[in-house]
Copies of this chain bind each other. A is one copy, B any other.
């Protein structure tokens, strides 16, 4: 099978979402549908009964090849609030350790009539690879792959921006810090450009900037004050200490001195600017506590919106596939075949 274009991988013939691997290549209408659908889920978290039956009786499998309790928890919570059955697969302990290939493991999970894989992997392109080789019965959602993408994080950031700014047109957005290792930054840049932000700035030392970054449609600043000037939205990225070889960075205190967000520095931004961070935050490294806990910060609201956005993506992929199945011949389950 030849590698389909990302859109046919992510969208059905009638343009509905079927997988959610990356923002790149998705039409603006789909991103806006995700935001609108999420809006209808936001208040589920406030109800006495925090559940809707949309995924009732569906099997969602958390396939985490890279440990991330926080992200796994948000997806597990979103799936349970949609009334799905959730299985957590600890891949480290799985048969892969018995020498089974990734593809054989996936085929087995598919044969158990799983409906959705939430995939977290340390290698860029892993979710895309899995989506290309998975059966049409299973929806694939990318929960972060290497340095490539973290699309649900980007969409919850878009939700947060739209919630507080009401629009994307005319917005100046500054993304600050470790762009080089950040799958979040890549997904944010794609989403902001598709949704029509006026300007996306990446602010970082040269050592933490990918060589090809301008090609994504961003302004590059190596000076923080210049990067913050009149910004409506300021996004600090987590310093991926665990992924960095010291060569790239003098020291944490040096990084904070040059790129750490403080109230003083934020004076350069627009008076109504909001401050965002994907978390977990390193206080005193990329962001000062006075900012993280300050009135401009919407960091915890991002977390709340994140559950709703993940519920939206899950339910859209599921209904997209159901339409797809109705339109085509129902794919046969193994047991339906005879010889």
Contacts and interface: CB of A to CB of B under 8 A. Distances in A.
A147 interface: no
Q: Give the oligomeric copy count.
A: 3
A56 interface: yes
B104 A280 contact: yes
A50 B282 contact: no
Interface in A321-337: 322, 333-337
A294 to B, nearest CB: 12
A107 interface: yes
B95 A70 contact: yes
A133 interface: no
A67 B98 CA distance: 11
A335 B163 contact: yes
Interface in A45-66: 45-51, 56-59
A32 interface: no
Interface string A307-330: 100000000000000100000000
Interface size class of A (residues with CB under 8 A): 35 or more
Interface string A158-174: 00000110000000000
B282 A99 contact: yes
Given A94-B70, A95-B70, A164 B48 contact: no
Contacts of A89: 69, 73
A105 B300 CA distance: 10
Which 5 interchain pairs have the tightest Cβ spacing? A49-B57, A45-B113, A100-B280, A301-B334, A111-B303
Interface of A: 42-43, 45-51, 56-59, 67, 69-70, 73-74, 76-77, 80-81, 85, 87, 89-90, 93-95, 98-101, 104-105, 107-113, 115, 163-164, 241-242, 272, 274, 279-283, 298, 300-301, 303-307, 322, 333-339
29 contacts: A45-B113, A45-B333, A47-B57, A48-B57, A49-B58, A50-B58, A50-B85, A50-B115, A51-B57, A70-B94, A70-B95, A73-B89, A77-B87, A81-B85, A95-B280, A98-B242, A107-B300, A108-B300, A108-B303, A110-B300, A111-B301, A112-B306, A112-B307, A113-B304, A163-B335, A298-B334, A301-B334, A301-B335, A304-B335
Given A163-B335, A305-B335, 4 more contacts: A47-B57, A76-B87, A272-B339, A301-B335
